[in-house]
Chains A and B, each alone.
Chain A
Amino acid sequence: MKNQTKKVFSGGLGQLTIPLVAIALLVIFNLFRDPSFFSIGIMHNNDGNIVLSGNLISIINGASELAILAMGMTLVTAACGGQDISVGAAAAIAGSVFVKILKSMPSITGGTVVLAFISACIVAMLFGTFNGTLVAVFKIQPMIATLILYTCGRSIAYWINGGATPTVSSPIISGIGSFIPGIPIPTPVLIVVLAAILFRLLFHFTSLELFTQSVGINGSAARLNGINSTFIKLLSFIILGICVAIAGTIGVSRLGLINHETLLLDVEMDTILAVAIGGNNLGGGKFKIGGSILGAYVIQMLTITLYAMKVSSTDVKAYKAIVIILLVVIGSPVVKARVSKLMSQLRTAKAENLTKGAQ
C-alpha cells in the first residue's frame, strides 16, 4: 500500500499521470468557474428521441474522431518513431469516397452505407499502404513521407467530390453521426468505445503490441529476433488507415455534408498532441493507447472550456498552446528526472533528520 502511494507521487501512474492530472486540473478549474458546467440534461431532440446533453457530452462526443485517430497514430508512433501528418487529408478522401458511393446508389439503405464505409476503408488503407511503404520499405522519415499526402490529399478529395460540397441526408447517416433512436448516448461515443475494445482484443489475442514495441525500441534487434519489422511498420499504417476511414465517416455523418477543405482540418496536429499528452514517447517504443484516448479528451475539454468562457476562437489556439506547452514540458524526461531526483533528495534529507532526531 505504502509503496503504491509512493508510486503515485513520483508519477507512478506511469504514462497516464500527465493526462489524468490535466483532466483533474480542468475539472477543478471548471468546478470553481461554474459548477453547472458539468450538469447533464435529458431532453428530446428534434427527431423526438430522448438524448443526453451538456458540456460533458459535448466533450466526449466532439473528441470522438480525434480519439479514434489518436489510437491509430499511437501505433504508428510506436512502430516507426514518427508521425503521420496526412490523417486529416486522408480522412477527407475517405469521407469523400463514402459520400460518393452513397450518392451513386439509388437509395440509402443499411447495405449501401456498409458498402460505402467498406469502400472508404479500402481507399484509406491503400493510402495507408502508400505511406507505410515509403516509411517501412524506403526508410523515409514518416513526417516527410506523409507530407506528400498531406499536401495533395485534399485536392484528391476535391476531384472525388467534383469540386462541390455534396450532401447526403438519411436517418441512417444521422444515426451514425448523431443519435440512434432509443439510445441517449451519441453514436460517435459508442464507436470510440467499440474501437477501443477492438484494439484491446487485438492486443490480447495477437502479439502485435509486443512486436510493435520491440520494432519501435530497436528495429534491427527485433529483426534479429525474427520479427518482420518492415511488415509491422506497414501494418501500423494500414491500421491507422482504418481509423482514418472511421473518423472520416463520423465527420461526414455528423452533418451529412462533405467539405473537403474543412473536414477534420488541422486534426493531424491535435492527434499528435493527443499521443504526446498521453505520455507516449514520440520517438517510438513503449506505448499506451489509453493514454492517447485520454489525451484526445484533454484537448477537447480544453477547447470546450475555452468556448464556455467565451474566449474568442481566434484566441483559443493561443490559450491551448500555453496549456499544451506546460503539459509537454512537465511530461518531458528532463523535468521528470529532476522531479524524481528532488523527491529522493527530500526523502533522504527527511531520513537523515529522523536519524539525527533519534540521536
Chain B
Amino acid sequence: MKRFKALVLAATLVASMALTACGSGSGETASTASSSPSSGTIKVGVVNNPPSESGYREANVKDMEAVFSAANGYDLKTFYSLKNDEQLQAAQGFITEGVDYLLISAAETTGWDEVLRKAQEAGIKVYLFDRMIDVDESLYEAAVVSDMAKEGETAVNWLLGQDLSEYNVIHIQGAMGSDAQIGRTGALDEQFASGKMNKVVQQTATWDEAEAKKIVESVINSGEDFNVIYAENDGMAKGAVAALDEAGITHGVDGKVIVMGFDCNKWALRELLAGAWNYDGQCSPFQAQIISDLIKGNTTASSKKIINQEKGFDAKTITQADIDTYGLGE
C-alpha cells in the first residue's frame, strides 16, 4: 500500500512537472516556414521570445513571419524561448545549419559573446532587434530597437499640443521598474516637475485593469478635479474609463476628460475611432521591414543602433486602415 501511494505520488509529481513545463510557454517550436528552399533564397534564423509573452511579442512574431516569407525570397527558421540558454543553443544550431543571417531578440543581455563570435567566423551577419545585448558593437551589423523614453515623449508632446488651459493629470503607472513603465513615466514626470502639468495622483496599478479602476474611483470619490488620464497601457486605460462611466463623467473627443493609453491593441484603437478615448501610443513591434531593407541593401544603417520610430494615434485622425495595419491582437 505504501509503495502504491509512493508510486501515485511520483506519477502526480511527474504530471505536475509536465504541466508546468507546458505552462511556462517555452516549448521548442523550431519550424521552417518554407519547406523547399530554392537556391536563390536568403536563409534567416530568428531567435525570439515566444509569442505567448505578450501582445507585443505576438505582433512582433507575426510581423517577422510576414516579412521574411518565401514570397519575399526568404527561408525563415525560427526559435522561441524565454530562456537565455535555450536561445543560445538554438543560435548555435542555426550557425551550424549555415544560415545567412541571424536575427536575435535575447532573453537576457549577457552570455552572447561566444556565439556571436562564432557567427562572425562563419560569415553569418547578425542583427539584433527589440533588445540590446551586452557585446562589442563589431559583433553585429545593426540593432533595431525601441527608445522607450521616446514613446513617453511622443505622448506627452501630443498632450501639450492639445493646449488645455490647465493639465490635472491622473497618472496610472505600469509595474514599477519595467522598461515600459520607466519610458512612459519619464516625460510626464518632467512636466510635473516643471509645473506645467499638475499631478492629481500618480499610482501604479501594475498593469492591472481592476486596480486602475479603483485608483480613479478613489480620486472621483475625493471630489478632486482632473481632466487627463494618462494610463501606461490600454487595459489600465479601460479600467479608468469604466470608473468614469460609472460616475457619469464624459471622456474622449469633446468629453471632459482626455484618455490616453499605450500598446495600440486593436480594441483600444476602435475606442479611439469611436471617439471614446483620445490617444494611444505604441512601442512599435515592427522591426522586420527595417531589417529586411538592410539585408537587401535597400537602405544602409547610419549607425549601429537604429531607433525604431514610435507611433501615436490621435482619435481625431485615426482611420480603420490604421487599426488593421498597426493594431495588436484582434
A167 and B242 contact, Cβ closer than 8 Å, known pairs A58-B214, A148-B19, A265-B208: no
Bound CA–CA A147/B16 (angstroms): 9
A178 and B221 contact, Cβ closer than 8 Å, known pairs A156-B23, A166-B330: no
Q: Quick check: is A254 within 8 A (CB to CB) of the other chain?
A: yes
- Chain B interface (Cβ < 8 Å from any Cβ of A): 5, 8-9, 12, 16, 19-20, 22-25, 51-52, 55, 58, 176, 201-211, 213-215, 217-218, 220-223, 235, 238-239, 242, 244-250, 265, 267, 329-330
Contacts of B242 in A (CB 8 A): 178, 254-255
Minimum CB distance partner of B246 in chain A: A45
Bound CA–CA A165/B330 (angstroms): 8
B247 to A303, Cβ gap below 8 A?
no
B246 to A51, Cβ gap below 8 A?
yes
Which of A43, A55, A155, A307 has the most chain B CB within a 10 Å cutoff? A307
B238 to A151, Cβ gap below 8 A?
no
B221 to A152, Cβ gap below 8 A?
no
Bound CA–CA A314/B176 (angstroms): 8
Which of B55, B207, B235 has the most chain A CB within a 10 Å cutoff? B235
A251-272 residues with Cβ-Cβ distance < 8 A to B are: 251, 254-257, 259, 261-265
B12 to A138, Cβ gap below 8 A?
yes
Minimum CB distance partner of A251 in chain B: B210
Partner of A43, one of B209, B217, B247: B247
Partner of A45, one of B206, B213, B217, B245: B245
Partner of A163, one of B16, B22, B55, B215: B55
A138 to B205, Cβ gap below 8 A?
no
Distance of B283 from chain A, by nearest CB (Å) = 16
Bound CA–CA A251/B246 (angstroms): 16
B203 to A53, Cβ gap below 8 A?
no
Q: Quick check: is A211 within 8 A (CB to CB) of the other chain?
A: no
Minimum CB distance partner of B263 in chain A: A165
A119-176 residues with Cβ-Cβ distance < 8 A to B are: 134, 138, 140, 147-148, 151-152, 154-156, 158, 163-167
B24 to A307, Cβ gap below 8 A?
no
A155 to B247, Cβ gap below 8 A?
no
Contacts of B203 in A (CB 8 A): 307, 312-313
Contacts of B23 in A (CB 8 A): 151-152, 154-156
- Chain A interface (Cβ < 8 Å from any Cβ of B): 36, 43-47, 51, 53-55, 58, 62, 134, 138, 140, 147-148, 151-152, 154-156, 158, 163-167, 178-179, 251, 254-257, 259, 261-265, 303-304, 307-308, 310, 312-314
Minimum CB distance partner of A51 in chain B: B246
B208 to A262, Cβ gap below 8 A?
yes
A304 to B246, Cβ gap below 8 A?
no
A164 to B330, Cβ gap below 8 A?
yes
B209 to A257, Cβ gap below 8 A?
yes
Additional pairs, 7, CB under 8 Å, beyond known A165-B267, A255-B235: A134-B12, A140-B12, A152-B22, A163-B51, A164-B330, A179-B246, A261-B207
Contacts of B5 in A (CB 8 A): 138
Contacts of A165 in B (CB 8 A): 55, 235, 265, 267, 329
A155 and B24 contact, Cβ closer than 8 Å, known pairs A46-B244, A47-B245: yes
20 contacts between A and B (CB under 8 A): A43-B247, A46-B250, A47-B245, A58-B221, A148-B16, A152-B20, A155-B23, A164-B55, A166-B329, A166-B330, A178-B246, A179-B246, A251-B210, A255-B238, A257-B235, A262-B207, A304-B214, A307-B203, A312-B202, A313-B211
Bound CA–CA A62/B238 (angstroms): 16
Which of A55, A259, A314 has the most chain B CB within a 10 Å cutoff? A259
Minimum CB distance partner of A133 in chain B: B12
Bound CA–CA A18/B208 (angstroms): 30
Bound CA–CA A179/B58 (angstroms): 35
Bound CA–CA A259/B208 (angstroms): 9
Bound CA–CA A254/B100 (angstroms): 50
B9 to A138, Cβ gap below 8 A?
yes
Contacts of A147 in B (CB 8 A): 16
Bound CA–CA A254/B213 (angstroms): 10
A155 to B25, Cβ gap below 8 A?
yes
Bound CA–CA A44/B244 (angstroms): 11
B238 to A158, Cβ gap below 8 A?
no
Partner of A167, one of B211, B218, B267: B267
Distance of A100 from chain B, by nearest CB (Å) = 12
Bound CA–CA A335/B25 (angstroms): 47
B246 to A314, Cβ gap below 8 A?
no
Distance of A226 from chain B, by nearest CB (Å) = 24
Bound CA–CA A170/B242 (angstroms): 14
B329 to A58, Cβ gap below 8 A?
no
Q: Ordered nearest first, which 10 A-B pairs have the shortest CB separation? A: A152-B23, A155-B23, A307-B218, A164-B329, A262-B208, A148-B16, A46-B245, A167-B267, A313-B203, A45-B248
Distance of A47 from chain B, by nearest CB (Å) = 7
Contacts of A313 in B (CB 8 A): 203-206, 211, 215
Minimum CB distance partner of B244 in chain A: A46
Distance of A186 from chain B, by nearest CB (Å) = 8
A55 to B221, Cβ gap below 8 A?
yes
Contacts of B201 in A (CB 8 A): 310
Contacts of B211 in A (CB 8 A): 313
Bound CA–CA A156/B265 (angstroms): 22
